[in-house]
């Protein structure tokens, strides 16, 4: 969310910058609504001031023993009028704030112009596809063939877009979680956090999922609890309504959580395999920084995520997203895309974004800068999406006989060098 005062004072500049990402600011609507809102506030407050003053007068008179029933009757009428007025004022004010809350962040100056993913810019690449003298298979064939991935039973137990992992498939998932957390905490300086997997709506507002993207989320019945779509939500909101110590920034957190997404609106996309599931696991990296260090910390966080792929020997490229392809609250985003031989394509496995003060303003996250307190910057990115890493390992390390070679770095975690066909459970 943008700062109200700055935003209003520089409406045209904001409109120009938002146009870069394809957002048209409803300038007229905004100006009109704001004018009506302010007029209403001014009038209501003027009446309130009168009411307060006259009430004080009543108190004084009553102390002197004077009968004040006439004044009280007049004040009662005034109170009714104020009640009605303030109802209108509140309505205008919340309408205005809702409008403000649905305006996305402005792109950073280092972000290239563009309309879609086609305009994203490759900034780095690593590795080359392993040579294969056979036709590479997709994970949705490899997994079931090996008996480690099961869609039929997942559909029975729950429904579409869910998966069951068996044996070394399940263990590979667990190995990846442990491997990533170990690297980030022991070598990249992150503190491990295990947050709740459900959050309240205030948290979802803080990180920007609400009010605009409720349909992407799962909400629990008869409560204000929602399943988290990413650990970004609980972890960023850890410091909601807090003032952090500026000398101790940046804070760096690594959190493993499952993530739940309704995937409304993506019917027909990635229907095969486990690329797009209602439930997936992720190790998320989150930072709280000072404004002057946030872009350097974004680069650092992106490098930390890339490091996991390097250690696993998985080819990837890092894309700087163009202005038109960025998420709602982000000022700058890098997507890391891993190579998937089964589909002969690069697939997003991490998205690393600097939100600047956009989330901090919504979530009221400040830090003490000398005497003054100002809004912190928040950064987050996957480090990495576990399910898609699992896919990448199967597809990149598959062998001609359909078995999977286990990358060196994972062997201590998996206690195996090759994943072979699992004996069926009788």
Partner RNA sequence: GGUGAGGUGGCAGAGUGGUCGAAUGCGGCGGUCUCGAAAACCGUUGAACCUUUACGGGUUCCGUGAGUUCGAAUCUCACCCUCACCGCCA
Q: Are 304 and 95 in contact (CB under 8 A)?
A: no
H or E segment at 58?
helix 27-63
Distance CA 190, CA 169 (A): 27
Report the interhelical angle of 27-63 vs 11-19 (nearest 10°). 140
Query: From the CB of 357, what's the least distance to RNA, in Å?
Result: 12
Query: From the CB of 387, what's the least distance to RNA, in Å?
Result: 25
Q: Which stretch binds RNA (CB under 7 A): 70-78, 257-265, 323-331, 333-341?
A: 70-78
Residue 48 or 174: the one with the smaller Cβ distance to RNA is 48
Query: From the CB of 378, what's the least distance to RNA, in Å?
Result: 18
Q: How far is CA 237 from the centre of its chain?
A: 11
Is residue 65 at the binding interface for RNA, with CB under 7 A as the rule?
Answer: no
Distance CA 26, CA 7 (A): 13
- Structure tokens belonging to residue 304: 């930390």
Is residue 5 at the binding interface for RNA, with CB under 7 A as the rule?
Answer: yes
Distance CA 87, CA 85 (A): 5
Select from 72, 201, 279, 293 the one that contacts RNA (CB under 7 A).
72
Distance CA 223, CA 380 (A): 28
Residue 58 or 155: the one with the smaller Cβ distance to RNA is 58
Which contacts (CB < 8 Å, 24+ apart) does range 72-76 have? 75/51
Residue 96 or 328: the one with the smaller Cβ distance to RNA is 96
Q: Are strands 121-126 and 316-320 parallel, antiparallel or unpaired?
A: antiparallel
**Can you say whether the dihedral through the CA atoms of 295, 298, 304, 307 is positive or negative?**
negative
Residue holding tokens 């009109």? Answer: 32
Site for RNA in 28-57 (CB under 7 A): 38, 41-42, 44-46, 48-49, 51-56
Residue 6 or 116: the one with the smaller Cβ distance to RNA is 6
- Structure tokens belonging to residue 321: 């997203």
Residue 68 or 262: the one with the smaller Cβ distance to RNA is 68
Query: From the CB of 348, what's the least distance to RNA, in Å?
Result: 34
Select from 13, 19, 59, 117 the one that contacts RNA (CB under 7 A).
59
Is residue 70 at the binding interface for RNA, with CB under 7 A as the rule?
Answer: no
Residue 25 or 321: the one with the smaller Cβ distance to RNA is 25
Pattern of binders to RNA over 145-174, x per CB under 7 A? ------------------------------
Query: From the CB of 97, what's the least distance to RNA, in Å?
Result: 10
Question: Exposed, middle or buried by CB within 10 Å (0-12, 13-18, 19+), for 77?
Answer: exposed
Residue holding tokens 């005497």? Answer: 371
Site for RNA in 289-318 (CB under 7 A): none
Distance CA 234, CA 203 (A): 7
Query: From the CB of 194, what's the least distance to RNA, in Å?
Result: 13
Is residue 371 at the binding interface for RNA, with CB under 7 A as the rule?
Answer: yes
Residue 70 or 400: the one with the smaller Cβ distance to RNA is 70
Size of site (CB under 7 A) for RNA? 26
Query: From the CB of 101, what's the least distance to RNA, in Å?
Result: 13
Query: From the CB of 45, what's the least distance to RNA, in Å?
Result: 4
Q: Which stretch binds RNA (CB under 7 A): 72-80, 205-213, 349-357, 381-389?
A: 72-80
- Structure tokens belonging to residue 310: 């390097």
Residue 265 or 370: the one with the smaller Cβ distance to RNA is 370
Residue 6 or 158: the one with the smaller Cβ distance to RNA is 6
Query: From the CB of 209, what's the least distance to RNA, in Å?
Result: 20
Question: If you ran DSSP here, which 8-state letter would residue 325 be given?
Answer: G
Non-local (6+) Cβ contacts of 72 within 8 A are 58
Query: From the CB of 19, what's the least distance to RNA, in Å?
Result: 25
Distance CA 255, CA 23 (A): 33
List the alpha helices (DSSP H) in 112-192. 139-146, 151-157, 167-186
Query: From the CB of 52, what's the least distance to RNA, in Å?
Result: 4
C-alpha distances in Å from residue 153, one per residue of 10, 98, 163, 165, 375: 56, 43, 8, 10, 48
Distance CA 380, CA 354 (A): 7
Site for RNA in 76-115 (CB under 7 A): 76, 79
Is residue 9 at the binding interface for RNA, with CB under 7 A as the rule?
Answer: no
Q: Contact residues for RNA (CB under 7 A)?
A: 4-5, 38, 41-42, 44-46, 48-49, 51-56, 58-59, 62-63, 72, 75-76, 79, 243, 371
């Amino acid at each position: 969310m943008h700062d109200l005062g700055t935003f209003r004072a520089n409406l045209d500049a904001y409109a120009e910058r938002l146009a870069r990402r394809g957002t048209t600011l409803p300038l007229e609507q905004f100006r009109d609504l704001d004018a009506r809102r302010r007029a209403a506030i001014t009038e209501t407050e003027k009446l309130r001031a009168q009411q307060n003053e006259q009430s004080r007068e009543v108190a004084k008179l009553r102390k002197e023993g004077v009968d004040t029933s006439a004044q009280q009757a007049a004040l009662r009428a005034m109170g009714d009028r104020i009640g009605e007025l303030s109802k209108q004022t509140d309505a205008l004010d919340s309408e205005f704030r809702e409008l403000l809350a649905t305006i996305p962040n402005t792109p950073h100056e280092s972000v290239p112009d563009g309309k879609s993913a086609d305009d994203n810019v490759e900034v780095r690449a690593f590795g080359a596809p392993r040579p294969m003298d056979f036709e590479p298979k997709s994970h949705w064939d490899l997994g079931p063939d090996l008996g480690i991935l099961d869609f039929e039973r997942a559909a029975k137990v729950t429904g579409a877009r869910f998966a069951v992992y068996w044996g070394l498939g399940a263990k590979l998932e667990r190995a990846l979680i442990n491997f990533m957390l170990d690297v980030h905490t022991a070598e990249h300086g992150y503190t491990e956090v295990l947050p709740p997997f459900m959050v309240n709506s205030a948290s979802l507002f803080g990180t920007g999922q609400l009010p605009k993207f409720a349909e992407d989320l799962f909400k629990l019945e008869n409560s204000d609890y929602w399943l988290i779509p990413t650990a970004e939500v609980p972890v960023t909101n850890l410091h909601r309504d807090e003032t952090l110590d500026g000398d101790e920034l940046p804070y760096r957190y690594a959190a493993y959580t499952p993530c739940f997404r309704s995937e409304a609106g993506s019917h027909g996309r990635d229907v095969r395999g486990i690329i797009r599931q209602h439930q997936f696991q992720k190790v998320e990296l989150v930072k709280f920084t000072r404004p002057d260090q946030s872009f350097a910390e974004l680069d650092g966080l992106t490098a930390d995520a890339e490091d996991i792929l390097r250690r696993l020997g998985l080819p990837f490229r890092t894309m700087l997203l163009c202005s038109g392809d960025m998420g709602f609250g982000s000022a700058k985003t890098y997507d890391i895309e891993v190579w998937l031989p089964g589909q002969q394509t690069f697939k997003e496995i991490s998205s690393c974004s600097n939100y600047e003060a956009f989330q901090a303003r919504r979530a009221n996250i400040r830090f003490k800068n000398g005497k003054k307190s100002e809004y912190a910057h928040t950064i987050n990115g996957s480090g990495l999406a576990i399910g898609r890493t699992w896919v990448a390992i199967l597809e990149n390390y598959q062998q001609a006989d359909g078995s999977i070679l286990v990358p060196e770095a994972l062997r201590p975690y998996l206690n195996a060098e090759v994943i072979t066909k699992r004996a069926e459970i009788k």
